[in-house]
């Protein structure tokens, strides 16, 4: 199965989501790697999940990271293909970052000088909320963008308006181990299936 664009599903907390997404052709799976955060997945849990899937790349969601040591531990323990963070975290840990970065932009970031990060080779892509797309039109035309949609209904229109953009979706908790409702995720991924 393949999708018409790149998709990253974040907040993966269980094998059911990971296997479903891998089977649907999702390019990237995100896992919260900050121990104090909700939906945290330990390195051992993530390694167990990875043992059952093949294909998607790993995105370490590092929102809330506090120290360079944390970043080094994450790199060693999770071995991510990408780090996902906001602009302030990128600036704070710029010298320690060795992985490719998915950089989440917010409207207040427009006030900062973004020109230097546009040329940083470690920036793989920018993440923009659907509500903020007009604020970042220059990025959309020049760089790889992943859009966080407002809801599942807006996907088709966004794909039409931004044909090169990818999408950010979220996993969810299982009701019981192995028991999961995929309705919302399935609705979006089915809209993105290649015909």
Helix (H) or strand (E) holding 58: strand 57-61
Q: Which residues of 153-164 are buried (b: 16+ CB within 10 A; e: fewer)?
A: eebeebbeebee
pLDDT, the chain, mean: 89
Q: What is the pLDDT of residues 23-67, one digit of tens each?
A: 999 999 999 999 999 999 999 999 999 999 999 999 999 999 999
Q: Residue 112 — very low, low, confident or very high, per pLDDT cuts 50/70/90?
A: low
Residue 132, classified by CB atoms within 10 Å of its CB into exposed (0-12), middle (13-18) or buried (19+), is middle
Is domain 7-191 classified as CATH 3.40.630.10? Answer: no
The answer on pLDDT for 1 being more than 90 is: no
Is residue 195 scored above 50 in pLDDT? no
Question: Residue 68: what pLDDT?
Answer: 95
Helices and strands (H and E) in the chain: how many: 8, 8
pLDDT digits (tens, 9 = 90+) for 128-164: 999 999 888 777 778 899 999 998 888 989 988 988 8
- Domain limits of the chain? 7-191
Give the position of tokens 């991924």.
Answer: 189
Span 157-186, average pLDDT: 82
């Amino acid at each position: 199965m393949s999708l018409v664009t790149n998709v990253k599903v974040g907040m993966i907390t269980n094998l059911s989501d990971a296997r479903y997404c891998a089977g649907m052709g999702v390019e990237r799976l995100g896992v919260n790697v900050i121990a104090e955060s909700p939906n945290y997945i330990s390195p051992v849990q993530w390694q167990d999940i990875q043992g059952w899937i093949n294909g998607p790349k790993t995105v370490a969601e590092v929102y809330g990271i506090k120290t360079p040591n944390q970043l080094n531990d994450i790199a060693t323990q999770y071995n991510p293909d990408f780090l996902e963070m906001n602009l302030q975290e990128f600036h704070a840990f710029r010298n320690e970052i060795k992985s490719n970065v998915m950089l989440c932009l917010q409207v207040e970031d427009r006030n900062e000088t973004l020109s230097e990060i546009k040329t940083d080779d470690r920036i793989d892509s920018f993440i923009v909320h659907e509500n903020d797309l007009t604020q970042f039109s220059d990025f959309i035309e020049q760089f790889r963008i992943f859009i966080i949609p407002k809801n599942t209904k807006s996907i088709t229109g966004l794909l039409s308006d931004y044909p090169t953009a990818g999408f950010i979706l979220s996993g969810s908790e299982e009701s019981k181990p192995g028991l999961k409702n995929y309705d919302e995720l399935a609705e979006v991924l089915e809209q993105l299936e290649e015909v």
